[in-house]
Amino acid sequence: MPEEPENPDVRPEWAPLTVDLDRPSAARVWDYYLGGSHNFQVDRALARQVMERMPEAPLIARATRAFLHRAMRFLTDQGIDQFIDVGSGIPTVAPVHEVAREARPGTRVVYADNDPVAVTHSRALLSGDSETLVLEADLRRPDELFGPDGAGGHLDFTRPVAVLLIAVLHFIPDSDDPAAILANIRARLAPGSYLVIVHGSVSAEVHQETADLYRRTPNPLTLRPYDEILHFFDGFDLVPPGLVPPTSWRPELSPPGTQLAIHSPGFAGVGRLR
């Protein structure tokens, strides 16, 4: 884990004045788990409370990121050169655009998040990159996210696009009808587009305690069973091996010696639009 800053109560230059330093954010907790430095004392405090109940939380985050990298290698091999990463957080630890461009230079990427800190810092990091776009947007408003003033102005939706929903759908409550949101997104995509999902699942009591902790953030967790997560892929053909724990999805695509031996309390999959 990164070291604590010397003056944790001093607002960093990259943090907008509108951001509440006293309320934790799921995006910044995730950044902390991945070894990033763009998080606040309140985020680290929540992360440590989660780790008291679930010590493997940072390993789960890294296993999720490793799955994303394997999925990216698969997608670029299929010719995909347009990505929209929703709930992207802060793209500082092997981000999507860097991984994609190793295989396909010129790949266009949209990063979207509803955390203003993530958006502000992402824009600063990528200010000289004309092939990326950073949006402050919410998955629950797909008309804004995918419209001409959003991703539609940067990506060509008449061609295949990969939509990445990595550890984001479990922050969408049932009351917001995530299945309808995905149906809206699916209707905008060209055949041959891909949907990539990682979703936390119902499991042991300790993970429910973790969900209870996240209710202190603007991003409460909704853990779902396998069948509900599978339903999110309606209209897509799942790529083998299907919907599986993240570490079980094509581990052979990981560089030798990098595969993490950790059980993730959730499922991951990649689907191709028919």
What DSSP letter does each residue of 92-126 carry, written as one string? Answer: -SS-HHHHHHHHSTT-EEEEEES-HHHHHHHHHHT
**Residues 207-227: pLDDT tens digits?**
556 656 655 555 678 889 899
- The phi, psi pair for 21, rounded to 5°, reads -75, -5
d(CA 39, CA 29) in angstroms, rounded, equals 7
Separation CA 150–CA 59 (nearest Å): 33
Which amino acid would we find at residue 55?
Answer: P
First to last CA, the chain: 42
Q: Contacts from 240-249 at CB under 8 Å and sequence distance 24+? A: 242/269, 243/267, 243/268, 243/269, 244/268, 244/269, 246/63, 246/64, 246/66, 246/67, 246/198, 247/63, 247/66, 247/67, 249/67, 249/70, 249/71
Using the predicted structure, report yes or no on whether residue 117 has a pLDDT greater than 80.
no
The residues pairing with 269 across neighbouring beta strands, listed in sequence order, are 197
| Higher local confidence (pLDDT), 133 or 5 | 133
Q: How many helices (H) and strands (E) does the chain have?
A: 9, 7
Lowest mean pLDDT among 14-23, 43-52, 70-79, 197-206: 14-23
Q: What is the pLDDT of residues 53-82, one digit of tens each?
A: 888 888 888 899 999 999 999 999 999 999
* Confidence tier at 206 by pLDDT (50, 70, 90): very low
Q: Specify the pLDDT at position 7.
A: 54
The predicted structure's pLDDT at residue 6: 40
Cα separation, 240 vs 224, in Å, equals 22
Quote the CA–CA distance of 106 and 266 in Å, as a whole number: 33
Question: Residues, the chain, total?
Answer: 274
pTM for this entry:
0.86
**Paired tokens of 74:** 């698969």
pLDDT value of position 211: 58
Task: Give the strand pairing for 266-273 and 194-200.
Answer: antiparallel
Residues 6+ apart with CB under 8 A from 188: 142, 146, 157
Residues paired with 201 in a beta bridge:
224
What is the maximal distance between C-alpha atoms in the chain?
53
CATH architecture of 57-203+218-273: 3-Layer(aba) Sandwich (3.40)
Residue 111 burial by CB count (10 A; 0-12/13-18/19+): exposed, middle or buried? buried
Listed by start position, the domains of the chain span 57-203+218-273
Residue 123's identity, in one-letter code, is R
Question: Taking all residues of the chain, what is their mean pLDDT, rounded to a whole number?
Answer: 86
